[in-house]
Amino acid sequence: MKLSNPPCTLLVCVMLVLTSCINNEKKTYDNPAEIPVSREMVAELTSPPNVPTPVGVRKAKKLIVNMEILEKEGTMTDGTTYNYWTFGGSVPGSFIRTRVGDEVEFTLSNHPDNKLPHNIDLHAVTGPGGGATSSFVAPGHEKKFNFKTLNPGLYVYHCATAPVGMHIANGMYGLILVEPAGGLPQVDKEYYIMQGDFYTKGENGEPGLQAFDMQKAVDEDADYVVFNGKVGALTGDNAITANVGETVRLYVGNGGPNLVSSFHVIGEIFDKVMDEGGSSINKNVQTTLIPAGGAAIVEFRVGVPGTFILVDHSIFRAFNKGALGMLKVEGEENKTIYSGVVQEGIYHPEGGGIQEMPDSDTKVATPKESKTLAEKMKSGKTIYMQTCFACHQAEGQGIPNAFPPLAKSDYLNADVNRAIDIVLRGKTGEITVNGEKYNSVMTRQAISNDEIADVLTYVYNSWGNNKTNVTKAQVDQVKNAH
């Protein structure tokens, strides 16, 4: 009688079970809707510019998202406030990070102190209104709905309660990331940036609590175009940071409601751009176009230290309306990549040839030494509008976190000779003006000593300054002192 071999049979059975489990683990799904979920987890939500932890290789899960709507007053710029409507208390709203195949259980709560009903339309949702038809919620109530994440990418969400444009214009937008199975490639730093355009009853910089202006919004006449909800949200102490050699990934959205963003980082080139937040990758990009209600993922490796400026390259929006941020990079210099200044000299556009002197009969015009104050003010204003206006603005208010104010400036009024020297020779490095720190660059101005006297006289006799009448002799003295 032949005996069987139970240990061998058992081994075969175990191997078959293990193989089956491994194959099931590696199974790919042509239809993401069929991806099973394992257990549930509460989603990590973050305020800008922070992002939640990458999903990595985790399995699809039932993801619990709890988001609260808050209507709250916040700062638009120094001295100016605005009543923002927010998802999660920030503009843009909380960053949501998921992966393909997650089953999202979304609860939207409208704080009882709010005045208006709201809802949410997530562009990552396949379903009526992107969830908006299931989430309309009055103050003091909450709504719950579920959706499956089917398509990897970076998607905008926003309020879609009528009038839709008004809700978006008041700050009700954010980003939801759907990572592919296995997650996105690892990088060193990740940040969340979203552009928006705002429309206020007062003009840009007008102080006090500003109300929303519907007609300006309809006319697309934005008073502010900003990153992360306010002027200076990403400058100074709020700047994002990295170290030389690190790879930076920016999740960039555009809430609109109206304007397209031309996103650019001055002094960097995007190694990779996931166009419109989708799967298509473009390489070596200088500026990427982000439509209202769209997004992009940009990646680059920082090779040298310094402050790199983030802008909407529709450039007046950056320097005049607020669409400006900073990436501060620390580390060792690399002179091969970027040398810095290697030589400074005088530029002679007329060439090096010997110039003819005027005939003795030719009268050479000399600056008028005895101008009246009115004459100097008229001349100075013309010079100011030609050379100073872009940075310091028409009323000397400057640009917050970028260029200091000249109006009621303690720094300016404290030392006239210092002001003359700055116009003559330029200025770099940190200064404090009216209690605020600035670290920008003012180049030497190519104007005559007589013109310097006129423009400074205009500045000192405008906008609440100390009414100094600067003379050409003073400018000459400061110039000859070095």
Question: Is the Cα dihedral 366, 371, 374, 376 positive or negative?
Answer: positive
What distance in Å separates the CA atoms of residue 475 and residue 453, rounded to the nearest whole number?
Answer: 7
What distance in Å separates the CA atoms of residue 117 and residue 99, rounded to the nearest whole number?
Answer: 30
Contacts of 122 (CB under 8 A, 6+ apart): 106, 130, 131, 147, 155, 157, 176
What distance in Å separates the CA atoms of residue 178 and residue 334, rounded to the nearest whole number?
Answer: 37
Identify the residue whose tokens are 């230290």: 305
Both structure tokens of 5: 């071999």
Distant-in-sequence contacts of 201-210, Cβ < 8 A, 24+ apart: 202/80, 204/320, 204/321, 205/77, 205/79, 205/80, 205/393, 205/397, 206/80, 207/79, 207/80, 208/79, 208/80, 208/81, 209/73, 209/81, 209/82, 209/83, 210/76, 210/80, 210/81, 210/82
Q: Are 57 and 47 contacting, i.e. CB atoms less than 8 angstroms apart?
A: no
> Residue type at 264?
H
Q: Give the bridge partners for 95, in sequence order.
A: 46
- Strands (E) across 275-323 are located at 281-285, 287-290, 294-301, 306-312
The total of other beta-carbon atoms located within 10 Å of residue 386's CB is 12
Binding residues, by number, are 118, 123, 158-159, 167, 172, 313
What distance in Å separates the CA atoms of residue 284 and residue 355, rounded to the nearest whole number?
Answer: 48
Q: Are 463 and 388 contacting, i.e. CB atoms less than 8 angstroms apart?
A: no
Binding residues for Cu cation, by number, are 118, 123, 158-159, 167, 172, 313
Q: Are 86 and 172 contacting, i.e. CB atoms less than 8 angstroms apart?
A: yes
Contacts of 3 (CB under 8 A, 6+ apart): none
What distance in Å separates the CA atoms of residue 219 and residue 447, rounded to the nearest whole number?
Answer: 40
One-character DSSP codes across 55-79? -TTPPP-EEEEEEEEEEEEEEEETT
Q: Dihedrals φ, ψ of 123, to 5°? A: -65, -10
The total of other beta-carbon atoms located within 10 Å of residue 143's CB is 17
Question: Is the Cα dihedral 33, 38, 39, 44 positive or negative?
Answer: negative
